[in-house]
Structure 1
Amino acid sequence: MTSIASARPSLTSNDSAVLQALFDAESSPSSGITVDPSLPSWPSSLKISQEDLSSLSQRETEIIRKLQADEPPSEETVKSALNDFDTLLSQYPTYPSAYTNRAQTLRLLIDIIHNNHESKSDNVQGSISELDDAALFSPQTSELSSRIFSDLGQAINLATPASPADAVSSAQARLLADAHTHRGYLLLKAARGKKAQSDEDGSDMSGPERLRGLGADQLEEMASRDFFFGGRYGNKVAQQLSVQTNPYAKMCGAIVKEAMRKEVEG
């Protein structure tokens, strides 16, 4: 009987690296990123001076504090915060952080609109997760969901270094980890929602127009890619989800499970 240890040398170094990357969430996601705390928060290509950055950070903090003043915030408070972010970004359209915070604020507004709609119809049923899925992809919130994807995409585009080999600042790494993970989470929910609705009645779900023509498998692969980058920039949850949603890891996992099943049976 050939042991695993004696069989291992037959794998090439590339094969071993691929298998490790597929099944070990800690093996590769963050290994290619250099975070340099001495770098300025944002690349000079964004053309935001240090003086402006200090002012922007203060304005952003004030907007967030208004949202946190009420638990939960009212619809009026959330819309006021969105207007403030709109004004800030109209003046400084290359400031990445405000896009991620506006995306989070849009999520708050979607939840409020959905909960108000459900309350009026006296039809509040299901778990928080189910309500969240329904809120994100209901016809009433399609435009807001589209804006979330747009904001996250813009933040990622602005903060991503020109070359994968370039070092990033601590602020860049944190934003890219959060934005990729947030978008991956939304894509994964879209994939599961589309599969569930398709299984139920064969129809396509509502939600952002850019996602409507995509199948559940395509959406899950997109989510896996975002989770990979989220993990690469340091988000531990994204590292785990990257492995769980990786189609090659899932395929290899199924093969391994089947082989183990046959060995147990025989």
Structure 2
Amino acid sequence: MTDLCVPTAHDANLVSILLGGAGDGAEYVRDQISGTYAEYDPGEHVGESSGGDSEIGAEALQALREREARAVRAAEAGDVARAVDELTQIIADEPRYASAYNNRAQALRLQGAAADAVVADLDRAIALGAGRTLALAFTQKGVMLRERGDQDGAFYCFSQGAKLGCEVAKAAAARENPYAKMCGSVVAQAMRQLRTPAP
């Protein structure tokens, strides 16, 4: 699945689409979220965490990452149900593996699963995760909360993802910042007043 934290030339477009409505970019968002965008390498960011993972032996962790990479490839090939099944089995085998929760949340979103199930997986990834996995989980949860209309929760999650170095979360946090929105509104109103001559 896609890594929302790796900055690319397309980040600004992705943030705009995610936070400003999909419009004509719905296919682009689907491709970005599913990881089928041409520049994405699914193996590059699978399993990058050190939270609960630090309690998993090196050999077991490598095997989990390989299984997770297969699940991600299945989702990218369009077999999202198989990906969810494989990620669910990984979680059953090793419930401390944060990255599997984050990737299952993405796959569940692609399936159109209930938001509560997706957020539950993201909450578990946040509780167990560290590093990139934690940043990804916060960023993805920010998107989910924004879709639900929870602007404060979305801003908090994007801010946490930004603190962990996620470029998309940084841009999203800036767009969701309530003070920035208020200031932007005041500036826009002042500009309208300047453009419209007084009667």
TM-score range, shorter chain: 0.5 to 0.7
2:94 equivalent to 1:87: no
Shift of 1:248: 1.9
Residue identity opposite 2:170 in structure 1: Q
Give the % identical residues. 35
Q: What is residue 50 of structure 2 aligned with on the other side?
A: 42
2:147 equivalent to 1:189: yes
- 1:234 aligned residue (138, 141, 165): 165
The TM-score, its normalising length taken from structure 2, stands at 0.65
Distance 2:93 2:106 in 1: 20
Shift of 1:98: 0.3
Residues 158-196 of structure 1, C-alpha deviations (whole Å, 9 max, x = no match): 11xxxxxxxxxxxx32212221111111221221xxxxx
Residue identity opposite 2:135 in structure 1: A
Shift of 1:227: 1.1
Distance 1:98 1:109 in 2: 16
Distance 1:66 1:53, change over 3 A: same
Q: What is residue 40 of structure 2 aligned with on the other side?
A: none
Residues 64-91 of structure 1, C-alpha deviations (whole Å, 9 max, x = no match): 22333x3xx2xxx322322221121112
Shift of 1:235: 2.0
- 1:155 aligned residue (122, 125, 135): 125
Residues 212-257 of structure 1, C-alpha deviations (whole Å, 9 max, x = no match): xxxxxxx011111111112222222221221221112222333444
* SS of residue matched to 2:56: coil
Q: What is residue 63 of structure 1 aligned with on the other side?
A: 71
Shift of 1:262: 5.8
The TM-score, its normalising length taken from structure 1, stands at 0.50
Count of matched residue pairs: 150
Residues 24-80 of structure 1, C-alpha deviations (whole Å, 9 max, x = no match): xxxxxxxxxxxxxxxx94146852111211111111112222333x3xx2xxx3223
2:110 equivalent to 1:146: no
Q: What is residue 245 of structure 1 aligned with on the other side?
A: 176
Distance 1:65 1:148 in 2: 20
Q: Work out whether residues 49 and 131 of structure 2, in 8 Å CA contact, stay in contact via their aligned partners in 1.
A: no
Distance 2:146 2:52 in 1: 34
- 2:99 aligned residue (97, 109, 112): 97
Unaligned runs of 5+ in 1: 1-39, 111-140, 160-171, 192-218
* SS of residue matched to 1:82: helix
Distance 1:173 1:238 in 2: 14
- 2:154 aligned residue (200, 223, 231): 223
Higher Cα Rg: structure 1 or 2? 1
